[in-house]
Amino acid sequence: MKLTAKSRYGIRAAIELALRWQKGPVQIKIIAENENISLKYLEQLLTQMKSADLVQSIRGAKGGYYLTKSPEQISLYDIIKVIEGPIEPVECMSGMNICGDCDQCAVKEISHYMSDMIAEELKKHDLKSLAEKTLELRNAGSDN
C-alpha cells in the first residue's frame, strides 16, 4: 500500500487543525500556506473531511475550519478512509470480480489479512500524537 499525495495532504491539514485545537477556527489560507498545499486542492480535501464529520467550518472574517472531535479521537485510519475509501489491496475485496477466480483465490484471504493489519496499525496513531511529533520535529529543525 502506498499513501497517495491526497492522503498525505489530508493528514497534514488535519495535523494543522490538531495543533490549533480549541483555539478557534483556522483559516484555510493559513493551513495552505503552512503546509504548502494549493488552496483549491485543500478545499476539496476539507470538503471530504467535512462530509465525514471530521471537520466543520464557520463562514466569515473570523471563520475557518476546526476538528469536530478532540485530536486523540481521530486516527490516521479515519482520515485515510475518508480520503481514499476502504483499504483494499486488491480489487476483488470490494466485490469486483476482476479475474473471475475470486472464490478460489488464496491471495484474497491474505489480502483481507493485510487490510485488517494495516487498518489496525493506522488506528493506533491519532492526531494528538502526530501533532506532538510534528512540534517536536519543527523545534528540532529550528535548532539547526
Kindly report the backbone phi and psi dihedral angles of residue 13, in degrees, each rounded to the nearest multiple of 5, phi listed first: -65, -45
pLDDT tens, residue by residue, 24-44:
999 999 999 999 999 999 999
Per-residue pLDDT, 135: 93
pLDDT tens, residue by residue, 58-86:
999 889 999 999 999 999 999 999 999 88
Tell the burial category of 21 from Cβ atoms under 10 Å away from its Cβ (0-12, 13-18, 19+): middle
- Share the mean pLDDT of the chain: 89
5-86+128-142: CATH, from 3.40.50.300, 3.10.20.340, 1.10.357.140, 1.10.10.10: 1.10.10.10
92 pLDDT more than 70: no
